[in-house]
A = this chain, B = another copy of it.
């Protein structure tokens, strides 16, 4: 297919496709004439993956390139691949308070999880602990055990979702989509559940309207 059709099928504008080509985020098409190239279904799939990472995940060009390098390296280690993508999607703080990180590691051990101090999400959680203390809300940290238990349930749903897909590109795309759209969905569901829980705690004498 020509670039116009690639654009139509992928939902990505032609100038954006050209940018991805220049940046090496999309392999070049097969040149048929000096000013024309042919693209195939692999390009459509790759473009969808890039789009998911850039538009939904807000990843930098450099981060997308790292992830694509992993995708393109010959491996069938799904666990390692998912780890790379998941870490690429986490904004890990450069510096964290080691004491806060110790607390996070204690929670990880309590949960029986297999994650190390270097996991970007562990560092990111340590930042939340530090921020909560700085603004005088250490009580938030007490909620983390319950959050962690709920997260196990969420992670199981996430892995079930990823197992719907076959082929490295589609699997990775599903990890990116699941992480980004999933975070939005969870934030919304959390608010809906809070509203309902607040009703039932503080309005017990007042049945909900029909």
Instruction: List residues of A whose CB falls within 8 A of some B CB.
Output: 11, 48, 51-52, 56, 78-79, 82-83, 86, 89-90, 108, 111-115, 119-122, 124-125, 127-128, 131-132, 134-137, 139-140, 142-144, 146-161, 164-165, 173-174, 177-179, 181-203, 208
Do residues B140 and A150 form an inter-chain contact, with CB atoms below 8 A?
A: no
Do residues B125 and A79 form an inter-chain contact, with CB atoms below 8 A?
A: no
| Extra pairs beyond A112-B196, A158-B190, A182-B190 (20, CB < 8 Å) | A48-B135, A56-B135, A78-B198, A79-B202, A89-B191, A119-B191, A121-B189, A121-B191, A125-B192, A128-B185, A137-B174, A137-B177, A137-B178, A147-B186, A150-B150, A152-B197, A155-B196, A155-B197, A158-B197, A183-B183
Main secondary structure of the interface of A (DSSP, over half): helix
Q: Which B-chain residue is minimally distant from A164 (CB atoms)?
A: B139
Task: Collect the chain B residues with CB atoms within 8 Å of residue A134's CB.
Answer: 11
Task: Collect the chain B residues with CB atoms within 8 Å of residue A48's CB.
Answer: 135-136
Task: Collect the chain B residues with CB atoms within 8 Å of residue A153's CB.
Answer: 146, 149-150, 153
Task: Collect the chain B residues with CB atoms within 8 Å of residue A83's CB.
Answer: 195, 198
Task: Collect the chain B residues with CB atoms within 8 Å of residue A124's CB.
Answer: 184, 187-188
Do residues A119 and B158 form an inter-chain contact, with CB atoms below 8 A?
A: no
Given the known inter-chain contacts A83-B198, A113-B193, please indicate yes or no for A143 contacting B157, CB distance below 8 A. Answer: yes
8 Å CB contact of A184 from B113, B128, B203: B128
Do residues B189 and A158 form an inter-chain contact, with CB atoms below 8 A?
A: no
Task: Collect the chain B residues with CB atoms within 8 Å of residue A187's CB.
Answer: 121, 124, 183
Task: Collect the chain B residues with CB atoms within 8 Å of residue A146's CB.
Answer: 153-154, 156-157, 160
